[in-house]
Amino acid sequence: MSPEATQLTTNNSSIQGSPDGPRGRESDFPPPPFELPESIVSRKSSQSAMSEAVQMSKSPGLIRRLSNRASQFAGRRRQSSTTAMSREHSNGPVIIRRRSDSTNTAPDGGRGALFCDSDSDFNVEVPQEVCYSLMDGNRDFPSTTASIGSSTVPASSPAPGPVIPHILLQGTQMIKVTKKKKKMLMFVLEKEAAKVTWDKSRPSKSFYIDDIKDIRAGVDARNYRQEFGVAATDESRFFSIVYAVPDKQHGRAQKVMHLIAGDEQTFDLWTTTLDAISKHRQDLMASLSSFHDKAVRAYWRNEMNKLFPDKAHSEDDELIDIVGVERLCRSLHIHGSSAYLRQRFDQADVSRSGRLNFVEFQEFVRLMKRREDVKAIYMEIATDVEKGITMETFFDFLRTVQNEDVEVDLKYWKDVFTKFARRSKSKDQITVDGEVPRMNEAALSSYFISTFNVPLKAQPAQYTLDRPLNEYYISSSHNTYLLGRQVAGQSSVEAYISALNRGCRCVEVDCWNGSDGQPVVMHGHTLTSQVSFADVMSTISKYAFVKSPYPLWISLEVHCNPAQQAVMAEIIKQTCGSKLVTEPLDDVTDRMPTPSQLMYRILVKVKKPKSHEDPVVMEGVTGRNRGTSLSSPYIRPLQLDNSTISAGLLPPSPYSSRARMMKAGKYSGSEGPDSLSSSTSDSESFTEDANRSRDKKHKTSNIVKVLGELGVYSAGLKFTGFNTPESKSYNHIFSFMENTFDKNSRTTEDKRAISHHNMRYMMRVYPNGWRVASTNFDPLKYWRRGVQMVALNWQTYDLGMQMNDAMFAGGIDQSGYVEKPVDLRQIKMIPTPQGSGEKHVKLERKNVNFSIDVISAQQLMRPKNLPANRSVDPYIEVEVYHADEKTKENKGVVGQGGLDASGKDGSSGLGTPHKRRTQIFRENGFNPVFDKKFNFALTTKFPDLVFIRFIVKCSQDGSIYNDKPPLATYTAKLSSLKQGYRTLPLFDSNGDQFLFSTLFCRIKIDPMTSVYVDGPETSPVETNGVFRSIRQTVFSRTPMSPKLSMDSVTNKVTTNSNHNFDSIVQKSSSISASVTKL
């Protein structure tokens, strides 16, 4: 499927996009009168998965055996009556639910227009690259954006809600299908509560319409129909509803309900009505939260109808008191103090009667809409505050503050300004010919929250990824088939759909023998459920390129017998068809191809098949052990005395003169010791020791040829050292469990060996098996070693997953492929000048300086268990993560401003962020203004691996900071952030984006500068050896040698005794340090 047909997703794994596009029917129901329920929503956020990750990291790693009795209830959570009642009669959702099922009419992202001045629509012609970025709700933009430039967002208040057929309110009988049985039940749609129930005596037997994530029918639900044994004749009446359910211990879980309607008419009524209600409630909530004029009028009319149900009255009698106003604010999740609301109420109450008429109520709304933080910016920008901002002034602001390149598409920005300027005028104002258009304060506020002011860089309309696959980080998933915990979670194709819709480019499939001769997917030796391998492959093939056109990897962990392996191979070929890579590309037979060469292609990663033949290995240079040769396939290098040097040209080191053997890892895979002789897990550890490695040298794989041959560019190998012949095959891949990797990468030699290997070849690292709650590690540990596939548990939105989302969020990174830093792709060196007397080479580092102004927050949610008589007391924390190890010489990030909340010594490093805090803003979760500036400075080897995490927290008493789970978070890679004033989206602990909660910040990033530090001390003998080896081998390299950087070719620098080091640095600004200190 082409990207143009893509339906993109939020950060939550659950919102699905069907590559087939919408196929639903238009509703024939006439619109009903506009009506709003009156009660209040009390949202209870679950415990953060991040805190759980911390606890799990302290686990002894033992998985307790569950009794048969316990296994019956593993993974099940009943929703409490209290929780259910707290959501009755909701005005609308607080989480973005982007739907993309076969009856899809829901908005893409549900972006409301927060505090927009008018209901006029904007039809700005947005460039394709901007559209692509803006539609990606899980990455780029806040939910509280104006409707400008997006046809999926209502610029005005939503149309009157759909009529609910009376028969659904009374209830209809449908068959509920499970694996164990089929049962006829009465399903009732409760209008006021906006939920569906099938047992009123049990609150858990229901789901809220706001929690519906997807409705599948027809072809989209066929795999479920076949799995549950439903006849093909029932397909036209069979549908599946994917919905979220609260889980007290593990956040938001997901369920799928399968139903068979009695007839096609009932089927149509349920699918179209649920979809229409879901869409309308999301639009309604966005419009009310934005105080659209029509929505405000509708709310006023609703209140008056309640006061005068059947009474004749005049407009003068229509008044609303403070109680009605507070009810409105609570239902819209405006969590401000009563004093704040009373102050605004009194300002609007011109008559001093204690009640507001409609005109005064409109003034109250205007006062609530006004943002003091934007007012200050407007006063600074506008040359004439009364008249407004001219186009010239606006463009100057875009260039100097927002760092936008206006000249690239001047017409586009002119259209944007014109639309906002038009919004500055009321409908009854007459435009005078020749009048200079201007933007007023409200229009500027609308711009800041619009889709034209996203926080992340947009994806270009066209681009290529033309480096070999091994030179990219690849967005990768572990145990992709699981929706929950890896010990007792549910296996489902839904997990694959969600991961692929979020941009995952490497999914994992654990294959086991099925009882009927057909392989199944599950987590072996656990209580997880299983799903058909054929269904998994069909789903992967269907959704493979919904989000990204670049190649998808299928990582197979095979535990099947030979017969079922052959079945697997046949299924893969049938489901993937021509997309499957079954042989090397014509022009790429001895090296890894580029992502652009493999667009819309599927790669299989599987262990190398049975073979007694010696592997084909590229010969090294005569007379030299090329155990560390990490070459790449492009051009033959020029001989330069001072230039980028291929890893393949490094001299033998003490650790490369022998077959490099690592320490023992007890088990070779995530499953522990395999109990099946046919197990062929590709997830291998480092070898135990040299002797065992030699003993196993000729042990063959248990993968059959017909399956193993599918691993064209990713043949999994058992690790026996970096110098073995097999480890020099261009298409091999090593897979390591995190614990084994960590144990065997402690010394400098080990780290260097791993990094050198990953410059030329592929590697995958996955979480430990003892992470029973499917928590994640810190991916920076492995990215800094050049590991391409850092596989995470995507179902858990903890810190690791947040950083992974940020890694692939901006610009071309949304492809699922991120080019590795140059120091992890090739070795660059600047030797010590002759005659300097120094014994150190110089290593290049980058000075990174940036500032973040945390200005304000908007409509924050209440935390769990906050007393009803308490308001929100928020504060903001900003964390900076980087990939450099903490040393005595380098304490990492240096910060200024606010309160330092870092570690005891104030230092930061890998796994230890630098953290700063704002003050606590008492009793205002609606529009707290922090106005706190933070400055950060960092000297780093990996400037592209710096991450910023924004955390919204709540004080328990209004004066004390705490370590409670955050209310919301947002994580971004520094290199992906756009500068200037940006509105940031916020996500809950499950990765769901809030519909209207945002942060408003200013970001400023200074140009990076280089600094050169002393590298490891070397002896003259070693130094001479380096260049002697270079001279001997530079012209005898194989075609697989890595390409020299263009900088090194165009910036030739010669070294002689007449040049001091400073002059060399000036002439080689683009040439990095010597052998990288790893």
- Report pLDDT for 433: 61
pLDDT of 1037 > 60? The answer is no
In the chain, % helix, strand, coil (3-state, to 5) comes to 30, 20, 50
Residue 447 is predicted with a pLDDT of 94
Mean pLDDT of 449-469: 94
Q: How confident is the model at residue 295 (pLDDT cuts 50, 70, 90)?
A: confident
- In this predicted structure, what is the pLDDT of residue 1016? 62
Is a pLDDT exceeding 60 seen at residue 618?
A: no
User: What pLDDT does 1022 receive?
Assistant: 40
268 or 75, which is more confident: 268
Say what the pLDDT of residue 961 is.
93
* Contact present, 979 and 909 (Cβ < 8 Å): no
pLDDT digits (tens, 9 = 90+) for 944-995: 999 999 999 999 888 899 888 899 999 999 999 999 999 999 999 888 898 8
Three-state SS string over 468-481 comes to CHHHEEEEEECCCC
**Angle 955-957-962 from CA coordinates, rounded to 5°:** 40
How many Å apart are CA 136 and CA 668, to the nearest integer? 38
Structure confidence at residue 159 (pLDDT): 55
What is the predicted pLDDT for the residue at 535? 93
Distance between CA atoms of 436 and 295, rounded to whole angstroms?
A: 32
* Element holding 1014 (H helix, E strand): strand 1009-1017
Q: For 126-140, 910-924, 938-952, which range has the lowest pLDDT when averaged over its residues? A: 126-140
pTM: 0.76
Band of the pLDDT at 603, cuts 50, 70, 90? very high
> What percent of the chain stands above pLDDT 70?
67
Please tell me the predicted confidence (pLDDT) of residue 434: 67
Comparing 105 with 456, the larger pLDDT belongs to: 456
pLDDT-based confidence at residue 527 (cuts at 50, 70, 90):
confident
> What is the predicted pLDDT for the residue at 1065?
34
Strand ranges across the sheet with 212-217: 206-208, 195-197, 182-190, 172-177, 251-261, 238-247, 212-217
- For 328, other C-beta atoms within 10 Å of its C-beta total 25
For the segment 331-368, what is each residue's pLDDT rounded down to a tens digit?
777 777 788 889 899 999 998 999 999 999 888 888 88
pLDDT for res 1014: 75
The mean per-residue pLDDT over the stretch 519-545 comes to: 89
- Answer with the residue of higher pLDDT: 981 or 95: 981
pLDDT for 891 beyond 50: yes
Tell me the one-letter amino acid at 337. Answer: S
Query: Can you say how many angstroms the Cα of residue 953 is from the centroid of all Cα atoms in its chain?
Result: 21
Indicate whether 98 pLDDT > 60. Answer: no
Mean pLDDT of 493-512: 94
What pLDDT, on a 0 to 100 scale, did the predictor assign at position 664? 36
Predicted pLDDT of residue 525 = 75
Residue 770 in this model has a pLDDT that exceeds 70: yes
Structure confidence at residue 666 (pLDDT) = 34
Is the predicted pLDDT of residue 765 greater than 80, yes or no? yes
Lowest mean pLDDT among 551-565, 643-657, 918-932: 643-657
**pLDDT tens digits for 244-291?**
886 655 555 788 999 999 999 999 999 999 989 988 888 877 777 677
- Asked whether residue 75 carries a pLDDT value surpassing 80, the answer given is no
Asked whether the predicted pLDDT for residue 537 surpasses 50, the reply is yes
Q: What pLDDT, on a 0 to 100 scale, did the predictor assign at position 939?
A: 92
pLDDT of 629 higher than 80: no
By DSSP bridging, strand 715-716 and strand 732-737 are parallel
Which range scores top for mean pLDDT: 45-49, 522-526, 1065-1069?
Answer: 522-526
The single-letter code of the amino acid at 547 is K
Mean pLDDT of 749-767: 94
pLDDT score of 523: 83
pLDDT class of 97 with cuts at 50, 70, 90: low
What's the pLDDT band for 611 if we cut at 50, 70, 90?
low
- Of 664 and 585, more confident: 585
Other CB atoms within 10 A of residue 1075 CB: 21
- Quick one: pLDDT at residue 55? 39
The fraction of the chain above a pLDDT of 90, given in percent, is 43
Say what angle helices 391-400 and 410-423 make with each other, to 10 degrees. 120
User: For residue 831, what pLDDT is reported?
Assistant: 61
pLDDT reported for residue 840: 59
pLDDT, residue 808, reads: 97
The mean per-residue pLDDT over the stretch 180-208 comes to 91
Cβ 992 vs Cβ 967: under 8 Å: no
Q: How far is CA 232 from the centre of its chain?
A: 37
Higher pLDDT, 464 or 68: 464
pLDDT range class, residue 675, cuts 50, 70, 90: very low
Residues 465-470 have a mean pLDDT of: 96
Q: How confident is the model over 219-235, as a mean pLDDT? A: 90
Mean pLDDT for the stretch of residues 171-195? 92
Instruction: Tell me which of 644 and 532 has the higher pLDDT.
Output: 532
DSSP 115-172: T-S----------HHHHHHHT-TTTS--SS---TT-TTS-SSPPPPPPPPPHHHHH-E
CA distance 517 to 530: 14
- The DSSP call for residue 407 is G
Of the candidates 549, 617, 658, the one whose C-alpha atom is nearest the C-alpha of residue 760 is 617
pLDDT band at 833 (very low <50, low <70, confident <90, very high): low
What mean pLDDT, rounded, does the chain reach?
74
Q: What is the pLDDT of residues 843-874, one digit of tens each?
A: 888 999 999 999 999 989 888 778 877 888 99
When pLDDT is cut at 50, 70 and 90, the band that residue 486 belongs to is low
Cα 596 → chain centroid: 22
110's torsion region: left (phi>0), alpha (psi -120 to 50) or beta?
left
What is the Cα–Cα distance from 786 to 937, expressed in whole angstroms? 25
Beta bridge partners of 764: 735, 789
Do residues 946 and 962 touch, judged by C-beta distance below 8 A?
A: no
> Does residue 1008 register a pLDDT over 60?
yes
Greater model confidence, 745 or 677: 745
- With a cut of 80, say whether residue 509 has pLDDT above it: yes
Radius of gyration of the chain (CA): 30
The whole-number pLDDT of residue 369 equals 80
**Residue 705 pLDDT more than 90?**
yes
The upper half-sphere exposure of residue 56, i.e. CA atoms within 13 Å in the direction of its Cβ, equals 22
53 vs 710 pLDDT, higher one: 710
Residue 252: the pLDDT is: 56
Crossing angle between the packed helical segments 533-543 and 493-501, to the nearest 10 degrees: 20
pLDDT > 80? residue 881? yes
Mean pLDDT across 451-460: 94
